[in-house]
Amino acid sequence: MLAQFTWAQFLVAAAVLTLVWYCLVILLFYRKELKSFLNGKPTQSKAIEPLPHHWDQQVDQFEQEAEDYLMGKSKMPEGVSVISAEEIGFADAKPQQLGLVADVLEEIKTIFGILVKEDGNKYDFVNLMQSVRESYPKIASHPNLDQINDFIISNASFHITREELDTLWY
């Protein structure tokens, strides 16, 4: 059946039906604008304003109150505080080496491992600690030297006194 129509006939029919459709839409929905256009009067463009709602006043008020009571005010995580840039300060001009104690403890653990493998004694320990003292000269004045000495006393397989350890670092 469609083979009887040519492309030209199809396009003319589609154009006519489209024209009829748009005419009906204009007549039904844009009647005022069409009358003012045909009379030559300029169309009055209204500023698009939102429709007034009876709840407008309450919505703004609700949003502010909702933040306070609905879920509560936000809370900073524990241990976090907000400070200004003026409140930030540094204790000393000379920086404390945070890794110094950890590095010395690793060296001491290595020395203890060597002593266990070779069945070393206090004399061997003192000789090996000479290299640690030379590698880390700042450890003698470090505030955590007592903790390092406690570590040595608790892990040594021989008896060593605090006086001996104090002479060891200087």
The model's pLDDT over 23-55, given as tens digits with 9 standing for 90+, comes to: 999 999 999 888 888 888 876 666 677 777 766
Mean pLDDT of 129-145: 86
pLDDT bracket for residue 140 (50, 70, 90): confident
- Give the phi and the psi of residue 79 in degrees, each rounded to 5: 90, -5
Mean pLDDT over each residue of the chain, to the nearest integer:
81
What's the pLDDT score for residue 28?
Answer: 94
Query: Is the distance from CB of 125 to CB of 115 less than 8 angstroms?
Result: yes
Q: What is the dihedral of CA 111, 114, 120, 123, to 10 degrees?
A: -30
Predicted local confidence at residue 27, as pLDDT: 94
Q: What is the total residue count of the chain?
A: 170
Q: How far apart are CA 152 and CA 108, in angstroms?
A: 8
Residue 137 pLDDT more than 80?
Answer: yes
pLDDT at site 101 = 84
Which has the higher per-residue pLDDT, 168 or 28? 28
Residue 67, pLDDT score: 53
- CB of 136 closer than 8 Å to CB of 103: yes
- Give the pLDDT mean for 95-118: 81
Instruction: Give the C-alpha separation, 136 to 143, whole Å.
Output: 14
Between 13 and 143, the higher pLDDT residue:
13
